[in-house]
Structure 1
């Protein structure tokens, strides 16, 4: 996988730095604020997805293979479908 959660963290901090750039005029600040809103929306979805995956793995770790058929996203490779 190309992107990691650490990459998301880097993007969020880069956006924070752009928002704090004191050389920006009002129009550029507004543009950066809109960009930040879009980044936050995508970041929130990525974090929710990672949280769901963590919960699924936790269930599998705590309860063994009896739940594995219900967690179809765990244990499958691309070749398996």
Structure 2
């Protein structure tokens, strides 16, 4: 999968920076649209994690766990 949670965070922070830019601020409606799409992505990731927890197995390509993550974290998400 190409896009990860880190990419989403980067886009959201870029939108925040755009809103704070006093010389050329981002349009509020555009920022709102970015926020709504991001929330939809976050909600789908939550469903994915809940499903993995419920069935007790599986993994998420969007929410990858670092190789050095604590074993209990790896077990919860993979």
TM-score by length of 1: 0.65
Number of equivalenced pairs: 59
Rounded to whole Å, the distance in 1 between the matches of 2:5 and 2:27 is 22
Rounded to whole Å, the distance in 1 between the matches of 2:18 and 2:35 is 14
Corresponding residue for residue 18 of structure 1: 18
Q: Which runs of 5+ in 2 are unaligned?
A: 60-78
Corresponding residue for residue 9 of structure 2: 9
Corresponding residue for residue 46 of structure 1: 41
Rounded to whole Å, the distance in 2 between the matches of 1:20 and 1:60 is 43
Larger radius of gyration: 1
Q: CA deviation at 1:32?
A: 1.9
Alpha-carbon RMSD across the aligned residues, in angstroms, is: 1.9
TM-score by length of 2: 0.68
Secondary structure of the residue aligned to 1:3 is coil
Secondary structure of the residue aligned to 1:2 is coil
Q: CA deviation at 1:18?
A: 0.6
Corresponding residue for residue 53 of structure 2: 58
Corresponding residue for residue 33 of structure 1: 28
Corresponding residue for residue 68 of structure 1: none
Q: Where do 4+ consecutive residues of structure 1 move more than 6 Å?
A: none
Rounded to whole Å, the distance in 1 between the matches of 2:6 and 2:23 is 28
